[in-house]
Amino acid sequence: MATPVQSFQLDRNIFNQSLYDDVRNFWFEGVPSGASTAPFPVLQKWWGINRTDEEKKAFDDECRTKFGSALESIGPSKLGLPAFKSYEEDIEHSDLLSAPLLSDVKGAQKDDERKAADTMLSMIILLDQMPRQIYREPEELSLVYKHYDRLASSLVRSCM
């Protein structure tokens, strides 16, 4: 049975600075430091533009290999979110829904603002982009929309 969100704890063997660095380094590979936009080859990789099915699958597989276990550790079988009632209610309860993740952002903020921003960015990429690469089959899409998107949206709202 999944642990309710209010008492869920992130696995520190997974959710740590190393994971956050790995997410950003992987996702932004090929983007020059200080760039205001990603070069076209990176955009092609992210969005699958002009890529073969094999190239898309290879990228999805790499995302799964590198970050699938992190997502599984906060998946619906482990981290139990309350039943969805409405978008407005999720907004109202965003601090509760994002509590396990928000604690890492707040902890990083105690060190410095840049670390907090980097931690937040890593979590959003992990919660918003990686599930879209890993869970593409029709029967898996509810994981993206009903679980990981709710976590990502709640985390963003809580940090605003």
Q: What is the mean pLDDT of each run of 10 residues along the chain (160 residues)?
A: 92 97 98 94 93 95 98 97 95 95 92 93 98 94 96 94
**What are phi and psi for residue 65, nearest 5 degrees?**
-65, -45
- The whole-model pTM stands at 0.94
Q: What is the pLDDT of residue 79?
A: 97
Contacts of residue 149, Cβ cutoff 8 Å, sequence gap at least 6: 127, 128, 131
**What are phi and psi for residue 101, nearest 5 degrees?**
-80, -40
Among candidate residues 74, 69, 60, 96, the one with its CA nearest the CA of residue 147: 74
Q: What is the pLDDT of residue 1?
A: 80
Q: What is the pLDDT of residue 67?
A: 99
Q: What is the pLDDT of residue 80?
A: 96
Length of the chain: 160
**What are phi and psi for residue 19, nearest 5 degrees?**
-60, -45
